[in-house]
Structure 1
């Protein structure tokens, strides 16, 4: 049975309706953590450089000629294999100067709250891994060239080819974050619904 009501009894909401939008929980907190990590990467450069030197010495020791070990931020390699060499992980060459801006950018994107955490977190981790691996690759290229061609090999890898690898990795990391941040329209969630042809 159809029911009728007086016009005065019908309540019509006035003004624009607020449509609740669910946001991924924890994005703000995660963003603050990433920003804190970016600041810590710059403030703890000495510790990071020493850790990098230790890690790369372990890699050199198993792959390159001679023995390798580290003292603070200096890597000694090809020890006992002929002419020994030494590489110092300086502030400008450290991965900290690459990790800090990537972590900072990821933190800002998390704080914006427009990107699902499940989508941005993998991209942030991948971006951090990319810059770390690219810089480690640069260290390896420098040491290998130094053992093979001496100072000329060091200059070639340190100033040219190695720097290109790091720049390429840094740009790739930013692209990964930007792609995760771009909201794609016209997908299945926003396709106009129409009637089926009968």
Structure 2
């Protein structure tokens, strides 16, 4: 009896509606465990970044040397996780410490992505895209911040360093984090709007 009922027209159409809903949400069968796995992967990635924060700081310094030497007057050199700015035989340098590294900016965004993945139905493709753009923006903002700190320290001494590091640099970091959070949260809001939009016949 149960098999006969499942093969009837009305139940077939009901199954069709279920399939359509799954397709609109962008979640495959068994997607809940996939999303939990992705959330755990984001947490693991955040832990891995914190564990390797010294390496990331050194990598940031090397990237900074590459592009700052092209756009700033004088000579930019790198020693480990330090950036050294030599201008008219006067050299000053700054270190990319754990507190100044982009790693501490990326970790909160990854943890937010883990929450979004585990607790919402935002399509994973949209979430990945938002996180990718967010991380790229944070890396770019932090490179600009490092260049600003290094330049003001070279030309204005300790007062320039304090101003750019504590005030202007922190403001840039806040902008980068806020933009990253906005991207991730917006990906979730887009899914909420999709749910509320009435389906067309």
TM-score over 0.5 (shorter chain): yes
**1:19-168 → structure 2 map (5 Å cutoff):** 19=18, 22=22, 23-24=27-28, 27-78=35-86, 81-112=88-119, 114-168=121-175
1:188/1:47 Cα in 2 relative to 1: closer, same or farther (>3 Å)? closer
Unaligned runs of 5+ in 1: 1-8, 12-16
Bigger Rg, which one? 1
Distance 1:78 1:192 in 2: 64
Equivalent of 2:178, from 171, 180, 183? 171
Gap change, CA 1:46 and 1:189, over 3 Å in 2 = same
Report the CA distance shift for 1:76/1:10 in structure 2 as closer, same or farther (over 3 A): closer
In structure 2, do the counterparts of structure 1 residues 193 and 104 end up closer, same or farther at CA, with 3 Å as the change threshold?
closer
Alignment check: 8 A CA contact 1:95 1:131 kept: yes
Aligned residue for 2:42, secondary structure, equals: helix
Tell me the equivalent position of 1:14. Answer: none
Offset at 1:157?
A: 0.5
Which TM-score applies when normalising by structure 2? 0.78
CA positional deviation for 1:123: 0.8
CA distance in 2, matches of 1:78, 1:35: 40
The runs of at least 4 aligned residues of structure 1 exceeding 4 Å deviation read 17-21
Mapped partners of 2:93, 2:42: distance in 1: 34
Aligned partner of residue 73 in structure 2, secondary structure:
coil
Q: Is the 8 A contact 2:64 2:143 kept in 1?
A: yes
For normalisation by structure 1, the TM-score amounts to 0.79
Q: Which has the higher helix share?
A: 2
